[in-house]
């Protein structure tokens, strides 16, 4: 089963659009694994997946990351590695091979680096293994406009940088796009272009994005971290957010 089908299945089974961002602060690295597993135990019924970024990938090793991914899989959750890969293909293949060995189901990449000798071989090898590649389209922070919102000239036509990334996502047959929840109008614009390719939206709550507006605009999944993991009642927060966005 391809990645988009697997995460859709998990979403339906859990009745949740939430991909939990395990962006734990590495104040006490020796406790990161324990804390991550405790959070998973609390939210397992209210999220459909997890996203692990450099907060855990840098301080933890192969075995610790595998323990987190294995726990997520035991709960029927999908796991996404957020490295924003942006390198030549030989490096991307090495990085993703390690991620696949750990058990990750998908990886987030930056389409800016291009296809030939860059993301192309990474996407092809991922699909052979049933893994997913998600590409950045428009991020959730204020400075995103300085890059993703740049005007570019292609074949005599002025477009936005995110127009180019939309076109690449479609042509490269990627498995999802990252579009910040802080820009519902851009979410709608992207969804109208990509149709069935799922949109993953970070930036709700803490960065100011409204989860309901993001879903109405076309977001299929909401990547939520701090609003849940920094809550005084993690389980309650996850359940409440699940209920208002499903």
Taking only the tens place, the pLDDT of each residue in 7-37 is: 999 999 999 999 999 999 887 778 999 999 9
Number of domains in the chain: 1
- pLDDT at residue 89 in the model: 96
Model confidence at 115, pLDDT cuts 50, 70, 90, reads very high
* pLDDT top residue among 69 and 25: 69
Dist. CA 189–CA 193, nearest whole Å: 7
- DSSP string for 133-153: EEEEEE-SSGGGGGTTT-EEE
Range of the domain at 128: 3-245
The pLDDT, as a whole number, for residue 138 is 96
196's CB contacts (< 8 A; 6+ apart) are none
What is the Cα–Cα distance from 106 to 76, expressed in whole angstroms? 15
Nearest to 170 by CA among 131, 198, 139: 198
pLDDT confidence tier of residue 197, bands split at 50, 70 and 90: very high
Q: How much is the pLDDT for 206?
A: 87
220 pLDDT more than 90: yes
CB atoms inside a 10 Å sphere around CB 15: 12
Q: Is 25 a catalytic residue?
A: no
pLDDT for residue 55: 94
pTM for this entry = 0.96
Q: Which of 66, 84, 193, 235 is catalytic?
A: 84
Burial track 170-204 (b if 16+ CB lie within 10 A, e otherwise) = eebebbbbbbbbbbbebbbbbbebbeebbbbbbbb
**Residue 73 sits in a domain of what CATH number?**
3.20.20.70
Beta carbons within 8 Å of 108's beta carbon, 6+ residues apart: 51, 80, 81, 82, 83, 84, 85, 134, 135, 136, 178
């Amino acid at each position: 089963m391809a990645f988009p089908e697997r995460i859709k299945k998990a979403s339906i089974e859990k009745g949740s659009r939430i991909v939990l961002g395990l962006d734990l602060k590495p104040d006490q690295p020796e406790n990161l694994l324990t804390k991550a597993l405790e959070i998973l135990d609390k939210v397992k019924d209210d999220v459909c997946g997890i996203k692990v970024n450099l907060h855990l990938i840098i301080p933890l090793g192969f075995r610790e990351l595998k323990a987190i991914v294995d726990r997520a899989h035991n709960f029927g959750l999908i796991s996404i590695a957020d490295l924003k890969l942006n390198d030549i293909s030989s490096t991307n293949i090495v990085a993703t091979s390690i991620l696949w060995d750990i058990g990750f189901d998908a990886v987030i990449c930056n389409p800016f680096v291009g296809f030939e000798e860059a993301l192309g071989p990474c996407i092809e090898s991922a699909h052979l293994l049933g893994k997913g590649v998600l590409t950045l389209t428009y991020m959730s922070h204020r400075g995103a406009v300085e890059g993703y919102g740049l005007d570019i000239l292609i074949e005599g036509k002025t477009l936005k940088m995110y127009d180019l990334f939309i076109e690449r996502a479609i042509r490269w047959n990627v498995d999802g796009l990252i579009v910040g929840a802080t820009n519902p109008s851009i979410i709608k614009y992207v969804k109208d272009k990509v149709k069935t390719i799922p949109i993953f939206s970070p930036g709700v709550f803490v960065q100011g994005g409204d989860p309901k507006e993001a879903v109405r605009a076309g977001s299929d999944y909401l990547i939520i971290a701090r609003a849940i993991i920094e809550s005084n009642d993690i389980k309650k927060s996850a359940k409440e957010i699940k209920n208002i966005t499903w």
